[in-house]
Amino acid sequence: MARRKLVYEGKAKILYEGPEPGTLVQYFKDDATAFNAEKRDVIDGKGVLNNRLSEFFMTGLGNIGVPTHFIRRINMREQLIRAVEIIPLEVVVRNVAAGSISKRLGIDEGTALPRPIVEFYFKDDALGDPLVSEEHAIAFGWASQQDLDDMISLALRVNDFMSGLMMGVGIKLVDFKIEIGRIWDGDYMRLIVADEISPDSCRLWDMETGQKFDKDVFRRDLGNLADAYTEVARRLGVMPTNAAPVTKPTLIN
Ligand SMILES: Nc1ncnc2c1ncn2[C@@H]1O[C@H](COP(=O)(O)OP(=O)(O)OP(=O)(O)O)[C@@H](O)[C@H]1O
Ligand SMILES: [Mg+2]
């Protein structure tokens, strides 16, 4: 296979040039990082699980009319996506208090919020992805008011879809993060859901026991991360129980 041309290597994924203009190949690595990459490890099989789960969620979103960058899965670790201009804002939706909102506002983790709360964080590793307001986004030209309104409504549609899907398998969607990008059709611009939707970017708690099935397992040393993600995939029927984590050596890549 011809070697792909590298476009960008991030902490969890690698982007390569796609086969056609306007496309990219997104490769899911096994690397796990937390606290702005201060804590890092390699979790065998994580990339395979996230590739599958992101495919599953994005395909489902596409089926209910939420536009995403997903085109098709190529193999165990790679998917073909539409190249977008990423808006430098992480969009977080919270249903239950956990993580930074609990710390910042002194709300106990696990407290149900009166309504879903949408937050924007400026994508800047050097600054630690700070929380910003719509005013900041508009004043600094990261997004227009119209973009922000569209981003909120996309995020809330993702929240409704993901919450329902998870509830069906006994999991509470506590919060999640998405990235949104612009695509152009001539002069006409649209916003679509990009990056990934996976247990790396969600908080997922078992509805009965409260057990965590997300990246907090890694952040807080609560057990085996691949086992937690495998449980999510198993409940959703995304992968057979014994399909992950993959054993080494592997011919895929
Ligand atoms: N459809 C897309 N088109 C262009 N860029 C994308 C698309 N989907 C995701 N990206 C970008 O690709 C990168 C994915 O890599 P990864 O998630 O590993 O990055 P990261 O280490 O989290 O760093 P970053 O701070 O850039 O997000 C991110 O920068 C993300 O914004
Ligand atoms: Mg990322």
- Shortest-distance Cα residue to atom 19 of ligand 1: 10
Amino acid at 169: V
Q: Which atom of ligand 1 is nearest to the CA of 124?
A: 25
CB neighbour list of residue 146: distance below 8 Å, 6 or more residues apart: none
Domain 6-84+225-243 classification at class level: alpha beta
Which fold is adopted by the domain 85-206? D-amino Acid Aminotransferase; Chain A, domain 1 (3.30.470)
CA of 166 to the centre of ligand 2 (A): 22
- Section 118-124 average pLDDT: 98
- Sheet architecture: strand order including 23-28: 6-9, 13-17, 23-28, 78-82, 70-73
Domain residues of the chain, as ranges? Answer: 6-84+225-243, 85-206
Confidence band, pLDDT 50/70/90 cuts, at residue 3:
confident
- What is the tens place of the pLDDT at every residue in 134-170? 999 999 999 999 999 999 999 999 999 999 999 999 9
Ligand nearest to the Cα of 31, by number: 1
Pocket test for ligand 1, best of 30, 35, 86 (most atoms within 8 A of CB): 86
Contact 240, 61 (CB under 8 A): no
Distance of alpha carbon 37 from alpha carbon 16, whole angstroms? 22
Ligand nearest to the Cα of 58, by number: 1
Burial of 60 (0-12, 13-18, 19+ CB in 10 A): middle
- What is the tens place of the pLDDT at every residue in 206-244? 999 999 999 999 999 999 999 999 999 999 999 765 555
User: Residue 89 pairs with which residues in a beta bridge?
Assistant: 122
Residue 245 has pLDDT above 60, yes or no: no
Distance of alpha carbon 205 from alpha carbon 81, whole angstroms? 29
Distance of alpha carbon 113 from alpha carbon 33, whole angstroms? 28
- What is the tens place of the pLDDT at every residue in 63-118? 999 999 999 999 999 999 999 999 999 999 999 999 999 999 999 999 999 999 99
